[in-house]
Structure 1
Amino acid sequence: MFKFIIIADDFTGANDTGVQLTKKGYETYTLLDLEGFTKSEFDALVIDTETRGLSPENAYNKVKESINKLKALINVELEEMIIYKKIDSTLRGNIVEEIIALYEELKPELIIFAPAYPKNNRITLNEVHYVNGKPIDKTEFANDIKNPVNVSNIKILLSNTNVFKVRHVYLSEIKNLEVIIKNLKDINTLTFDAEKDSDLVEIATKVTEANKKVLWVGSAGLAEALISSIKKEGKIITVSGSTRSLTITQLINLSEKGNIPIINIDLYNLFNEAESEKNRICSLVNTYNDKDVIITSYMAQEDLETAKKISLELGIELKDISQIIAEKISEISLKVINFTKPKGLILTGGDIAFNVVKKLNSKIIKIKNEIEPGIPEIELFEGPFKRLKIITKAGGFGNELTLYNSYRYLKGE
């Protein structure tokens, strides 16, 4: 997963951007002061510099100081993190000075500047930034006591310094953005029109695909688009050992709605050629490359009948057979988890859930959330898979869409 660093100039702006990350499943912290910050593991940090009301010189110095403290704390590298400068969607504040401070310290290849926030009626057309249909310098924000806005043309805003070599991308050009980026010469800054949320998503997606060292600059609108455009790493693995008809219906819905392949465990092979079956399952998971998968031992009444036959043949009670199946499936799951490094698990069936988590070697479990009544999200607190997110579900719990809803939750949807 990419890590995010967001630098905001006020507290409310910090949080309205940070919440976009939280909605997508990122563990996000807002820092009012970098002193004493020691947490080594995080998904996103939002740094509130409180510089909107400062003089341009003081804002420049404060942002420089903040980014240097951050570098010392977590060794910031643009290749490893997404750096986002959150600005006000009405262009208030020391925007130019703060971007210069970040540009000098981080040395990105490209600055992306898109302040539009269409959801809140802030759009940019033909270089001009509008609020509720009026150029920003013709609105009440032009008379703001602390931060009067006297420039509505965003290209001119950034062109008033020799630091930025600016090229504006008009609405009709966004569809060819990859070509524009590829052919840039002596340009280090792109400013953008954006009228709809989809424009911002297209900008974010195409810039990300260009694999440049980017300093992103925008309001919460571009931040949300950027977060949405980035696919988190890792699969979602669903493992089921429940014989309940409801669970089977839930698995079918998950497979069909999520376009997720189902891998059936052969119970006879599981008992008679366990290692071979384990390798077969892992090979199938690997065949699906980056696709999420469902691994299950029961998808029809015949599977339960097979378990009963194995019980009779081996002279072992059915309840004990069920426990052995759960242990063997947990061994398969461990092997799959070891090589896929999933970002999340869905485990259904009490024995399955317990045995798989036990194999993951974490004795302390953090309870994070309740997805639906009786359907918790947990997180491993220690061990080799620390911070792995897992949703557990008893076989008879939930409705027909519970597994699909759980899957979408782990996907950040």
Structure 2
Amino acid sequence: MPTKIIVLDDDPTGSQTVHSCLLLLRWDVETLRIGLADASPIVFILTNTRALAPEAAAGTLREVCDNLKVALAEQSLTDYLIVSRSDSTLRGHYPLETDIVAERLGPFDAHFLVPAFFEGGRTTRDSVHYLNDVPVHRTEFARDSVFGYEHSYLPDYVAEKTGGRTPAMAVERIVLADIRGDGLLDRLVALKDNRTVVVDGEKQSDFDRFAAAILNAAHRGKRFLFRSAASILTSLAALPPQPVPAEAMASCVREGRPGAVIVGSHVRKSTEQLEKLLQEPGVAGVPVAVEQLLHADTAGEKLCAEASAAAAVAHLEGKTPVIYTSRTELTFADAQARLHFGEAVSKLLMAIERRLPESIGFLISKGGITSNDTLSEGLNLRTARLLGQILAGVSVVLTPADHPRFPELPVVLFPGNVGDADALATVYRRLSNPPAL
């Protein structure tokens, strides 16, 4: 049996490079047991911790780890790797999450910071992390009001995020020459005491070589933890091509019917993609003025009723409603206030989603937090089966056949910061047009 790759995903988009595996929306021991017993070499536990304040994220992750420890013991599973999957632009609760995993599931010989995500133009060279060849500290993501940072050189990033607990000089570096040369396995075997290691990657073959050495070392008894983006998962799981090609995903649409789109992500790329989508034939824009949530306690109910009615009318007309949050830039007193507002917006979007017509053919969820809430709250799923990718970095899952409202509904999990300006429109077209026979 291959090494089980257990991914603790801080939003639901970490499966964006793999296929045919389970996504777990709950983490009670019974659900974890189902995931561990699944035939796929990889399983995702969707914790959604990136959307939570640090204290709540810590509590969630401790619960996940404690239950996982029980499930692993019950399954007598010892050949596994733990991956704390997070954002490829370095946003998230680091080192909080790796500290908790090490505390609850350790000890580990090392934890590896592997942020490259090739499908999204994120690469790491000489321990500097880039987005389309721009050091990430120069991008909008480094200015994130919750998870901002000042350094693209990963040893300095580690020192910054750990508050100096792990100084840059103490961080071990695995650069491209190490991965492409000889001696990597010996270095991995020599690691101990949860050493912090940052890893380069410019193309998938780099990670294929690195993963092969990791798995070899693990089979020799080494225990490793990862803090990574999605691309390393492709190499660790070593899956064959996905069974339904991206261009043929329309074959999964329920009776070829129009679908629905929910856009919660507010990053610039999402707004550009939304503008392109709204120009497509067969769509109907349904804006939701979420800034009203700041001014009246009853605003949510009114906005939900209005958006639900507009979506129902669009569906009756044979169109795909595109329900999107207003693009107004809002400012908040602090990060906590921003998180609370985000929770209120997500609650509203999920209320709208639950009122969508039951006969929609597909659902596209735009944004990481929105996608997580779509699966766990809007659709109230315990597990979902990942079909594969409809676009590089964009996953499609299928709801269970016994779902009370939306059985066997293809759901697209579309990260906020993935794809070019036409990507959202491309996904819509692939689901709206049947494949050529």
Please report the TM-score for the alignment, with normalisation by the length of structure 1: 0.49
Which structure has more RCO (C-alpha within 8 Å, separation ≥ 6)? 2
- Based on CA coordinates, which of the two structures has the bigger radius of gyration? 1
TM-score by length of 2: 0.46
